[in-house]
Chain A
């Protein structure tokens, strides 16, 4: 039975040299039962610490942790019904694949015959049935990863934790395993918490993404919402490749309507939310995917630096008039060459206005009629 995971002001402090580092700062978070939740953030944001506290491998400094209705804060990892896939895969090098997958069952006291059956079934699902008698070091990286997956789900735990399990694999294998992990999730009745610094993994696999920033939860949302409605410049920058473009513009009133001015543009944004920021410099955010060459209600001229073709589309890195970089994504690069100056544009529903402290104030897609807004995700 999958279980909900809930943290209540969960806090972890470390002593490093003579100062205290707060890895997790009073985190309140609910991870729904049976969901695939990804915790994402750059190195050092506290995501692995949070996962290890859920596993019971680290003791919280304060706060409570619940699995379902049960308070498990003080329970040992042995007593929690969880599995974990580690960053370094952590296969027992002296045991065969069969013994590796079956170790948890052996400890549980599952009879030999049933154990063999369950191990073989798991191996069948993961397509490693013919590798069962080998030692881990005789396997390829992908096969080792599959063994680790098998060991994690064979005991049918309520919760499976993943700690950046694919960070050492090549891109092709990662893509393959992403699909397999998702298929496994569909098959299992388990809550999955997946920690990664790779926003692509977060976006492609999860029901819900938790974005962490320096020990705080920055935003909890499904991937599409995170992409279109980031609640801060931090999320807008971290989620989605290339990162969101930010244009510093002045917010002024024109006939009583808040108006963004800068880069030769004047954009009226009739939202009361902006009133407190009138007279300040705010950030106008536009996703590279929503910025198109040669068109849009609002336009600016940029100079092309580098073009990265990615198959059906290309990422274009350019310089805007104030000398700062700006990126856009296009599927037509036939007419564009490095050194050229081109006009790029966007529509009002594509913009997001961020306040001086980086918080999202207005989403164009919500404020304006979003009928024409593109909803593509990359």
Chain B
């Protein structure tokens, strides 16, 4: 029925008009999506770069800022612990990136190149464990870290985040290593390279896009995580940026301060999205094909 109507439309309307309608519709949808994403971001920037109190001064918000001020940021960096939070976030994020990516590479390589008993069960459990949300594992993590005496440490947070992230990363690296033909490694062995040397010289350079993608996923998990950080970290000295931001909001800090923390949080992901777009797309593609 629909096909028949479509045919009728195609017959009746010239191709050029049809193309034009299609294009217009596409752009409309894109525009709508951009607005949905951009408006909140714009509001965030607007509030963050206005002098304290300006937002509520007249009771209404100017769409076009009257003045631009860095007052909020100065206050944020001098009066609050935002710098400590940032430092903590960097420590945790780098830790997660290194640990999670390394584990993903090693596990992915083993899954690709070695046959072992229980391999299928293992690969299924990877997928299964990815289905659990962080909240399900939060309490077990708490108990685990408590018994290990690791509570309130960045190391525990790195371990926990790596555990949450590993299914996805291992899956990604596994799929990526599968695309590296075994014959390249075999050629390297025959040419005299040890197994490790062949991995270093041949497999890892070819898999670099996959590794970068895994690292980006790890970055995102480490930098943006709130839930696990809040559970594991009890001392405000240890807080990461998202937990710290929530703390600021919860206290008497104004919206301006909260929004300027948000801007701070947004900068690294924004830069990564800007410069590593290609790898993000790759992650999506691999995810689809895998």
Contacts and interface: CB of A to CB of B under 8 A. Distances in A.
Interface of A: 55-57, 76-78, 80, 82-84, 86-88, 90, 92-94, 103-104, 107-108, 151, 155
A86 B187 contact: yes
Contacts of A155: 191
B205 A78 contact: no
Main secondary structure of the interface of B (DSSP, over half): helix
A103 B198 CA distance: 11
A205 B87 CA distance: 68
A84 B197 CA distance: 18
A88 B183 CA distance: 8
Contacts of B274: none
Contacts of A93: 206
A90 B181 contact: yes
A78 B184 contact: no
Interface string B188-208: 111111100100011001100
Contact of B183 (A78, A80, A86, A108): A86
Contact of B192 (A55, A78, A86, A90): A78
Please provide the 8 A-B residue pairs with the shortest distance between their CB atoms, ordered closest to farther. A104-B191, A90-B183, A107-B192, A86-B183, A90-B187, A94-B205, A77-B189, A77-B190
A87 B183 CA distance: 9
Interface of B: 181, 183-184, 186-194, 197, 201-202, 205-206
13 contacts: A78-B193, A82-B190, A83-B191, A84-B187, A84-B190, A90-B184, A92-B188, A92-B202, A93-B206, A94-B205, A104-B191, A107-B197, A151-B187
B181 A88 contact: yes
Interface hub of A76, A83, A94, A108 (most chain B Cβ within 10 A): A94
A146 B10 CA distance: 53
Contacts of B192: 78, 104, 107-108
Nearest to A84: B190
Nearest to B208: A94
Given A88-B183, A94-B206, A55 B188 contact: no
A94 B202 CA distance: 8
Nearest to B204: A94
B182 to A, nearest CB: 9
A103 B188 CA distance: 8
